[in-house]
Amino acid sequence: MTTSRSTRIVLYVYGILVIAFLYLPLISVGFASVSQARYLSFPIKRYSTKWYGEALASSTVSDLLTTSLSVAVLVTLISVVVAFFGALAFARYHWRFRTTFQKLILLPIFFPQTVLGLALLMWFNSLGIIPSWKTAVVAHLVWIAPIATLIVAIRAYSFDPALEEAARDMGAGTFTILREVTLPLLMPGLVSAGLFAFLLSWGNFPLSLFTTGADSTLPEWLYAKMVSGYSPLVPTLGVMSVVGSFVLILAAFAVAWLVRANRDAKVAQD
């Protein structure tokens, strides 16, 4: 394929501009979080980290973090288990309603999340369940479990069914095959699905809005403060939430790199 040199340069510049466009607002939030003034205005006159100190000392903040973390951890665990089996049904086994199943699980992804949250609120109400952070877990699952399934399914597509058949021919039962052959093969997909599930749940706002009852997650609290008056803690907590996510992603990349380096070293030894 021939693309002229100047076109290539224009396209690279365009790509870099789009990345800058995506991250520019985060830079503003970052600057705002270290401004000392209670009422923010640029250019910032005095920098200080006092809002960070205040955020760390506040009990509201630690409640918010606990709630967000509990929701995200539970959503991750359940999504990974559901996605493991879901992906096999999606990509590996040839069964009668497979294509219907594939399309069905896409529907929640195509749905406005605010409306889903409201629908869940009414559903819990008619069941007599009082909303709390636990019901928010259910709400997040509607959207996140299908996404996790798609991620594992990409991995499941690339594996060779002959490996399972070989195990079966040698006398392994269905359960043994799942544990000894399928699970290790899908592991990288499960890890990335878990990572996606955690991060998407951690940052999700529209699904939590109506389903957490009296509890509040971090994004919900930030939204409440944004639409009703400014608090200097908004940019600070925003930055803390973003940094938390990015540290987790970097850690995941580091672990993946170490595992690969380790394996390469072993192969080199053999």
Partner 1 sequence: MNRLDGKLGLLSALPLALVLLLSFLAPLVVVALFSIMPPKVFSLANMPDFSAYSLFFSQGYYKSLLWSLGMALSATAILVVICWPLAYAMAKVFGRFSLILTVAVVMSLFVSENIRLFGWVLTLMKGGLIEGHLRAWTGMGFESPLYSVPIIVFGLVYVYLPFMLFPLAQGISMVPDDTRQAAYDLGASRWQVLWQIEVPLAAPGIVVGSLLTFVLAAGALAESKILGGQAVIAIADDVETAFTFGQNWPLGSALSMILIVIIGGLALFGVSKVDLDAIMGRKR
C-alpha triplet 57, 60, 64: angle, nearest 5° = 115
Pick one of 5, 6, 14, 59: the residue that binds partner 1 (CB under 8 A): 14
Closest contact distance (angstroms) between CB of 19 and partner 1 is 5
Closest contact distance (angstroms) between CB of 269 and partner 1 is 29
CB atoms within 10 A of CB 203: 16
Pattern of binders to partner 1 over 159-198, x per CB under 8 A? ------x--------x------------------------
DSSP at 173: -
Number of residues near partner 1 (by CB under 8 A): 102
Closest contact distance (angstroms) between CB of 8 and partner 1 is 6
- By the 10 Å C-beta count (0-12 exposed, 13-18 middle, 19+ buried), 56 is classed as exposed
Residue closer to partner 1 by CB (options 48, 111) is 111
Pick one of 74, 136, 190, 222: the residue that binds partner 1 (CB under 8 A): 222
Residue closer to partner 1 by CB (options 63, 242) is 242
Q: Which of residues 34-63 bind partner 1 (CB under 8 A)?
A: 40-43
Query: Could you say whether residue 113 binds partner 1 (CB under 8 A)?
Result: yes
Residue closer to partner 1 by CB (options 43, 184) is 43
Instruction: Evaluate whether 139 touches 207 at the Cβ level (below 8 Å).
Output: yes
Query: Could you say whether residue 252 binds partner 1 (CB under 8 A)?
Result: no
Length of the chain: 270
Pick one of 131, 189, 194, 219: the residue that binds partner 1 (CB under 8 A): 219
Query: Could you say whether residue 139 binds partner 1 (CB under 8 A)?
Result: yes
**Segment interacting with partner 1 (CB under 8 A) among 46-54, 57-65, 152-160, 260-268:** 152-160
Alpha-carbon distance of 266 to 270, in angstroms, equals: 6
Residues 6+ apart with CB under 8 A from 15: none
CA 71 to chain centre: 12
Query: Could you say whether residue 112 binds partner 1 (CB under 8 A)?
Result: yes
Pick one of 72, 80, 136, 145: the residue that binds partner 1 (CB under 8 A): 145
Query: Could you say whether residue 64 binds partner 1 (CB under 8 A)?
Result: no
What are the start-end ranges of the E strands in the chain? none
**Segment interacting with partner 1 (CB under 8 A) among 26-34, 46-54, 55-63, 257-265:** 26-34
Question: Which residue, 47, 232, 60, 79, is CA-closest to 147?
Answer: 79
Instruction: Dig out the tokens for 259 from the structure.
Output: 């595992």
Q: Alpha-carbon Rg of the chain, whole angstroms?
A: 23
- Would you give the end-to-end CA distance of the chain in angstroms? 41
